[in-house]
Amino acid sequence: MTTEFLDILEMSRTGKTVKKEDWDFEGVVMTTRSLVSKYDIKWDSQEIIPLDDALVDRVFQAALELAETLGVYNVSTSKVIRFSRAEIEEGLQNAPRELVFGEGSDARVLRARKERDTNPPAVWAGNPGVPTPEEIFQPMVMSWMKEPIVDLATCGSLVTYKGHPVVSGEPEEVYATRNELTLLRDGLRKLGRSGMGLLAAQSSVSELGDLCVMNPAFLRPTDAHLVPMLNELMIDRGSLVRAANGKTYGARNASLACVMVGGLAGNAPGAAVVQAASFMLANLVCQADYHLLHPIHIRHVATSTRGVMWVEGVVARAFARNSPAIIVADIFPKSGALTCELLYEVAANAAVISYSGAHLEGVGAADGALPNGTGLEVRWMGEVGHAVTRQGLNAAQVNELVSRLLQRYEPIFSLPEGNPGVRFDQAYNLETLEPVAGWQRMYDEVKQEVRSLGLEV
Amino acid sequence: MEDSLKAIYNAIIDGAADKSAAAVQTALDAGVDPALILNEGMIVAMTEVGKLFEEGEYFVPEMLISAKAMQAGLSILKPRLVKESYKSAGKIIIGTVKGDLHDIGKNLVSMMLEGAAFEIVDLGSDVPPQKFVDAVRENEADFVAMSALLTTTMPNMKTTIEALEEAGLRSKVKVLIGGAPVTSQYAHEIGADGFAPDASRAVALAKSLAAS
C-alpha cells in the first residue's frame, strides 16, 4: 500500500490545524447536509430495506466524496488527516475479503457477504463493551459460547477487579483486561471450544489494557480487538496506538465508528453517509481488517430503531454492491432478558442485517447499559439470521416481517424507564447455564409466533 | 408576539444567521427593548428548538444551526444590553470529565443553556478535576456541569466533586451531571445536585436549581 501507516501518523501530527468546534459544524454538519442534498438521499421510515438500489449506490458515492473532502480529525493534535480519492479507493481495494478467526477446528473463515447472500452470516456472540460485574462475567459469556450456532465470541467490560473499580487509563485497567482474557479463554476451554475466535480486550477503554494483552496467552493473532473512531470522523492518539499495536502484533483490527443517527450527521440519510465514510477512512487510520457496524440512535440508543436499522442495512449493502468488505453489524436492543420485546427486536435487527450483507454480532441487551443479556437471545439471533438466508427472503419480504415485529416492540421506546428486563443471573441458572423456565417458555412462544409470520425458524 | 420579535424568532427556528442578525438590528432600530428581544424573541425561540428536538422533529444539526443563528443575533444585541435590564441566569462551568472525549451531549447542553440566558464557560473534553476547581474559582461560577459517556470515566465525576469539596468550593456551586450511563441514583450517590437525561431537561434542572 502506498499510504503507509507511519505516513498517516506523520500526517496526524502535521496536517492542517482546525478547531474542534469548526470540525463538528463547518466540517461534519454542513458538508454532510450538502452531500445528502446533492446525492438526493432520502429515507422512508416505512421501508427499512429500501427497494431502490440506486439510492444505496448514491450513499456509497456520497460517502466517498465526504471521506475525500473531510478526512479524519485527530482530536489529540487538532490536526486533520486528509486523503486523496486514489488513496481512499486503494484502501477499499486492499480491504480483506476473507479472514480466518480462531484456531484449529474452532476456526471460522469470515467472508465479505453479498446482499441476499446464500451463505449464512457468521454468528459473533456477545455484548461488546457492556459493563459487567466480575462475579457473573464467566457464566454469562459461557452461556453464549456454548450455543452450537455460535461461530465467534465477544464480551462485556469488567467494571471491577477483585472488587476494585476499573477506571480508564489507571492500572486497574491492566488487571481487568488480562482477567477478561483469562476468563474468556478458560471459559472456552471448559466448553471444549478453545480455538474459538474472539473480539476481546473490551475492558480496555484506554489503550493501556489493549497493549498488555497482545500475547498469545491472552489475545491470539487470530483474535480481534477494537480500534474505535470518535463521533464523527475523528480519532485520537489512543486509537492510533491500538491500530499500531494490532498491526505490529498481527491481531485483527476491528474498526468501530458508532455514528449517531440524529447526531452531527443528522437523521438516517446523513448518518448512513457518515457511517460509510467512516469505514472508508478506517481502512487507513484504523488499519482495519474488518468493520463493526454499530450506529446508535441519539434518543433511543437501540439498534432496533427504524433509523438505525435503515442505516445498518443501507451501509452493509452499499459496501456489498460497490466494494465488498467484511462487515459485522451489532445488535443492541432496547429490551433486556426475560422480555418478549427483546426477542422481537433481535429478530427484526437480525433479519435486516442478514439480508443486507453483514455478519451478526450481539446481543447487547438493554441498550448495552446493563448486564441483562443471555445466551438464549444470541441463539435466537443466529437462528433468525440463518433462516432469512436459507429461505432467500427478498427485500419486500424482510420489510414485511420487520414491519410486523416493529408493531410488537416499538411501543417500548416511549417507556420512560425503558424495558431493561432482568440481570443475567435472574434469567439463567448459573450451575447448568440454561435459561430459567419462564425465559425458555417466552423464547418458545415467540419462536412459534415468528414462524406464523412466515419465517421458517 | 410583535412582528419584529416574530422575525427574530423565525430566523432562529429556521437557523438563518444572517436573518437573525438583521432582524435584531431592525428591532433595535425600531426602539424595541433589548431585554425584550432577548427574552421574548431569542430565548423563546431556543426553547422551541429544544422542544422540537425532544419531539424528534429536529436533530443535532438543526439545533447547532439555530444556536449559530442565536449567536449571530446576540453579537448585535449584547452591546445594547444594559446590566439593569439583563440578568444572567447563572454562570456554568461545563466539561466532560477526565478520560472522556465524547462531547456531543455536552455541547448540546452547553448550547441550550446559553440559549436560556446562562453564561457558559466551556472547558471542553477530558477535563481534570483541578481544572474544574480552578475555573469555578476564577469565574465565581454558580454551577458545575459534567458529562461522561463511559462507565469507566463516570468515577471522575465523584473525584471532581471531592476536589471541589477539598478546595472549599462545593457549597458555592450546584453540580449537574449527565451522560448515557448516568442516572439520578448515581447523582445522589456521588453527592451531585441533579441529573438530566438530555439537553432540554438540563435547562429545566439548571433553572430549577437556580431558583432554589
ipTM (interface pTM): 0.86
What range defines the domain where residue B41 resides? 3-80
Mean pLDDT of B166-170: 96
Cell readout for B65 is 444551526
Strand partners, A360: A123, A329
Angle subtended by helix axes A5-14 and A268-285, to nearest 10: 120
Least confident of A15-24, A123-132, A232-241, B116-125: B116-125
Q: Does B98 lie in the same domain as B25?
A: no
What is the pLDDT at residue A90? 97
CA distance B59 to B145: 22
Instruction: Enumerate the residues of chain A whose CB falls inside 8 A of the CB of residue B107.
Output: 24
Given an 8 Å threshold on Cβ–Cβ distance, is A263 in contact with B59? yes
Residue of A23, A29, A294 to mutate, interface with B, max B Cβ within 10 Å: A29
Q: Does B106 lie in the same domain as B159?
A: yes
Q: How far is B38 from chain A (nearest CA, A)?
A: 24
pLDDT for residue B62 is more than 90: yes
pLDDT tens for A342-395 read 999 999 999 999 999 999 999 999 999 999 999 999 999 999 999 999 999 999
Question: Is there a contact between A112 and A325 (Cβ–Cβ < 8 Å)?
Answer: yes
Where helices occur in A253-369 by DSSP H, the ranges are 268-285, 306-322, 340-356
Q: Does B95 lie in the same domain as B72?
A: no
Given an 8 Å threshold on Cβ–Cβ distance, is A165 in contact with B68? no
What is the value of pTM for the model shown?
0.91
What CATH number has the domain bearing residue B125? 3.40.50.280
What is the pLDDT at residue B212? 81
* Nearest neighbour of A205 by CB, restricted to B68, B124, B150: B150
What is the pLDDT at residue A429? 97
pLDDT for residue A202 is more than 80: yes
Instruction: Band the pLDDT of A269: cuts 50, 70, 90.
Output: very high
Q: Does B105 lie in the same domain as B67?
A: no
Q: Does B108 lie in the same domain as B15?
A: no
pLDDT for residue A426 is more than 90: yes
pLDDT for residue A158 is more than 60: yes
Q: Does B198 lie in the same domain as B107?
A: yes
pLDDT for residue A254 is more than 90: yes
Q: Is residue B28 part of a domain?
A: yes
Given B35, B54, B80, which residue is the final one in a domain? B80
What is the pLDDT at residue B107? 86
pLDDT for residue B151 is more than 90: no
Given an 8 Å threshold on Cβ–Cβ distance, is B60 in contact with A262? yes
Q: Is A260 on the interface with B (CB under 8 A)?
A: yes
Domain count, chain A: 1
Q: Is residue B182 part of a domain?
A: yes
> Mean pLDDT over all residues of chain A?
96
Q: Strand runs (DSSP E) across B70-161, as ranges?
A: 91-96, 119-122, 143-147
**Pairing, β A131-132 against β B119-122:** unpaired
Q: Does B114 lie in the same domain as B193?
A: yes
What CATH number has the domain bearing residue B55? 1.10.1240.10
Domain count, chain B: 2
DSSP string, A164-224: EEP-TTSHHHHHHHHHHHHHHHHHHHHTT-TT--EEE-TT-SSHHHHHTT-STTSS-TTSE
What is the pLDDT at residue A348? 98
Q: Does B103 lie in the same domain as B192?
A: yes
How far does chain B reach from its first CA to its final CA, in angstroms? 30
Tell me which long-range contacts B188-197 makes (C-beta under 8 A, separation of at least 24): B190/B157, B190/B158, B190/B161, B191/B158, B191/B161, B192/B157, B192/B161, B196/B109
Tell me which chain A residue has its CA closest to the CA of residue B198: A299
Q: Is residue B60 part of a domain?
A: yes
Given an 8 Å threshold on Cβ–Cβ distance, is A264 in contact with B60? yes
* Nearest neighbour of B60 by CB, restricted to A167, A173, A263: A263
Q: How far is B30 from chain A (nearest CA, A)?
A: 33
User: Please, which residues have CB within 8 angstroms of residue B141's CB and are 6 or more apart in sequence?
Assistant: B91, B92, B93, B121, B135, B173
CA distance A387 to A360: 13
What range defines the domain where residue A209 resides? 98-452
Contact residues, chain B to chain A, C-beta under 8 Å: 56, 59-62, 64-65, 68, 99-104, 107, 124-125, 150-153, 155-156, 180-181, 198
Q: Does B132 lie in the same domain as B108?
A: yes
Q: Is residue A13 part of a domain?
A: no
Instruction: Enumerate the residues of chain B whose CB falls inside 8 A of the CB of residue A131.
Output: 151, 181
Q: Is residue A181 part of a domain?
A: yes
Given an 8 Å threshold on Cβ–Cβ distance, is B64 in contact with A299? no
Cell readout for A139 is 457464566
Q: Is residue A347 part of a domain?
A: yes
What is the pLDDT at residue B150? 81
Q: Does B106 lie in the same domain as B67?
A: no
Residue of B54, B60, B126 to mutate, interface with A, max A Cβ within 10 Å: B60
Instruction: Enumerate the residues of chain A whose CB falls inside 8 A of the CB of residue B198.
Output: 299
Given B33, B54, B80, which residue is the final one in a domain? B80
Q: Is residue B85 part of a domain?
A: no
Q: Is A131 on the interface with B (CB under 8 A)?
A: yes
Q: Is residue A330 part of a domain?
A: yes
CA distance A385 to B86: 61
Q: Is A206 on the interface with B (CB under 8 A)?
A: yes
What CATH number has the domain bearing residue A266? 3.20.20.460
What is the pLDDT at residue A139? 98
**Of A42, A196, A20, A167, nearest to A108 (Cα)?**
A196
Instruction: Band the pLDDT of B85: cuts 50, 70, 90.
Output: low
Mean pLDDT of A250-268: 96
| HSE-CB for A347 with a 13 A CA cutoff | 30
Percent of chain A with pLDDT over 90: 97
What is the pLDDT at residue B83? 59
CA distance A72 to A82: 7
Instruction: Band the pLDDT of B86: cuts 50, 70, 90.
Output: low
Q: Is residue A211 part of a domain?
A: yes
Given B35, B52, B80, which residue is the final one in a domain? B80
Q: Is residue A28 part of a domain?
A: no
Tell me which chain A residue has its CA closest to the CA of residue B97: A168
Strand partners, A434: A429
What is the pLDDT at residue B178? 93
Instruction: Enumerate the residues of chain B whose CB falls inside 8 A of the CB of residue A159.
Output: 151-152
Q: Is residue B86 part of a domain?
A: no
Given an 8 Å threshold on Cβ–Cβ distance, is B101 in contact with A236? yes
Q: Is residue A133 part of a domain?
A: yes
Q: Is residue A23 part of a domain?
A: no
Q: Does B101 lie in the same domain as B76?
A: no
Q: Is residue B45 part of a domain?
A: yes
| Three-state DSSP class for residue B121 | strand
Residue B169 main-chain phi, psi, to 5 deg? -110, -10
Residue with cell 451522560: B179
pLDDT tens for A287-345 read 999 999 999 998 899 999 999 999 999 999 999 999 999 999 999 999 999 999 999 99
